[in-house]
Amino acid sequence: MNKRRVVITGLGVCAPNGVGIAAFIEALQQGKSGIRFQPKLKELNFSCQIAGEPLLNDNLLQNYFTPLQLRGLNSSGLVYGVIAGKDAWNDAGLPIAEKETPDWGSGILFGTGILGADKFRESIYQIDAKNVRRLGSGSVMQVMASGISAYLGGMLGCGNQVTTNSSACTTGTEGVLMGYERIASGKAERMLVGSCSDSGPYLWAGFDSMRILPRAYNDNPTEASRPMSATASGFIPGSGAGALVLESLESAQQRGAKIYAEILGGEVNSGGQRGEGSMTSPNSEAVVRCIKAAIENSGIDASQIDAINGHLTATSKDALEIENWSSALGVSGLDFPYVNSFKGLFGHCLAAAGSVECVGAILQFHKGQVFGNVNCSDIDLGIVEKVHPSKIPQKTILHAPRILAKASFGFGDVNACVIFGAFND
């Protein structure tokens, strides 16, 4: 069977610089940062005391959870994921399945890295104190990785595949591709895809301990995350969730859904931690292969790509990533597409990064803009060799992307690249 066309009909986001699509758009357009000083990290002797964390209003959760679900709820990733997921579903104009029967054609693929760290910690202390009977019924669901897809599955009544993927920084982007494949092959009509990541010291500590997080910006957090900058000094940890409703073109057109963009194809692969690859460093050959394959799988020519949203975390690897993009697309200088990284504004949301960033990338189609980079007026010289500065927008520009390549590269030497296209009937 020929692969069916898949489009994006709903978006939802819970990001450090914007909770909800409207706030997120404004923040991206205007370069508003969601990276803030975190008193808790200072109290716990972290070197990096800043991070990106979504700001939730007191009453917001009541719009997403029943009083029973709120009882003992202590999993921030789950909360972010439910907010983003339900918002995306509503944005797509899709109904909640009725009481007796699920929607067999709709599935969920919502990833995470580690879920419910705070809840697990709470439980661990009870267990160690020999109080296992005090845990109650909520601990398992809030802590199991698939908790997020399970909660959303029940809230929305999805009867197709309901699962959680996990591939470190690649999780969200990989999830988009897995959901796309499920629909393209005819196994589902709609897939809610996305990913989430807890906030807090227990998520971020490992990175701080590796000494890879910037220590010099605790007093000026908004300048700390500097993708593509000559003075980049490491990624800033973030958190949150992004969600997209993917839908077969037939289903979308049949119900008159609004279409944000189309998924033309993509690829996932790994560098096998061979060659220059390691657990924490990419194998460039694999990265280039992944991007090239994504382009081929999408049935386009590399020259058609006019925008890139990179992984670009603000480490010394940014220049290498740009070099790999240049290699894969066979372009440089003024021919290089517009390139941006949203991490300057909200840090690296870890498992949520790919999906929050995919949402941002799609919003560029929606608004006919390429959102500006921040903190890289001093572009790394290695990058300037490959990309003309005019293609690294320092503020939001009017340019409606036609074909956008989005990639994420994760710990484990894993890669994912998805190609989005402006929807043409």
Partner 1 sequence: MKQEERYQILRTIIKIYLPEDVSVDEISPESNFINELNINSANLVDIVLDVEDKFNIRLENEDMEKMQTVNDALAIIERKLSE
Q: Which helix (H) or strand (E) holds 382?
A: helix 381-384
Q: Which helix (H) or strand (E) holds 152?
A: helix 147-156
Q: Which is nearer to partner 1, 70 or 124 (CB)?
A: 70
Q: Which is nearer to partner 1, 140 or 216 (CB)?
A: 140
For residue 68, state whether it binds partner 1 (rule: CB under 8 A). yes
Interaction mask 26-65, partner 1, x per CB under 8 A: ----------------------------------------
To partner 1, the closest distance from the beta carbon of 73 in angstroms equals 13
To partner 1, the closest distance from the beta carbon of 132 in angstroms equals 11
Stretch that binds partner 1, among 67-75, 90-98, 333-341, 409-417 (CB under 8 A): 67-75
For residue 282, state whether it binds partner 1 (rule: CB under 8 A). no
Q: Which is nearer to partner 1, 68 or 129 (CB)?
A: 68
To partner 1, the closest distance from the beta carbon of 158 in angstroms equals 19
Q: Which of 2, 45, 59, 67 forms a contact with partner 1 (CB under 8 A)? A: 67
Interaction mask 177-196, partner 1, x per CB under 8 A: --------------------
To partner 1, the closest distance from the beta carbon of 148 in angstroms equals 18
Q: Which is nearer to partner 1, 52 or 138 (CB)?
A: 138
Q: How far apart are CA 144 and CA 110, in angstroms?
A: 13
Q: How far apart are CA 174 and CA 290, in angstroms?
A: 12
Q: Which is nearer to partner 1, 57 or 66 (CB)?
A: 66
For residue 279, state whether it binds partner 1 (rule: CB under 8 A). no
Confirm if 359 and 11 have CB atoms less than 8 A apart.
yes
Q: How far apart are CA 180 and CA 190, in angstroms?
A: 9
To partner 1, the closest distance from the beta carbon of 140 in angstroms equals 9
Per CB under 8 A, which of residues 113..152 are in contact with partner 1? 133-134, 136-138
- Considering only the C-alpha atoms of the chain, give the largest distance between any 2 of them, rounded to a whole number of Å: 65
Task: Name the residue among 155, 235, 158, 243 with its Cα closest to residue 196.
Answer: 243
For residue 395, state whether it binds partner 1 (rule: CB under 8 A). no
Q: Which is nearer to partner 1, 86 or 343 (CB)?
A: 86
For residue 71, state whether it binds partner 1 (rule: CB under 8 A). yes
Confirm if 217 and 50 have CB atoms less than 8 A apart.
yes
Binding site for partner 1 (CB under 8 A): 66-68, 71, 133-134, 136-138
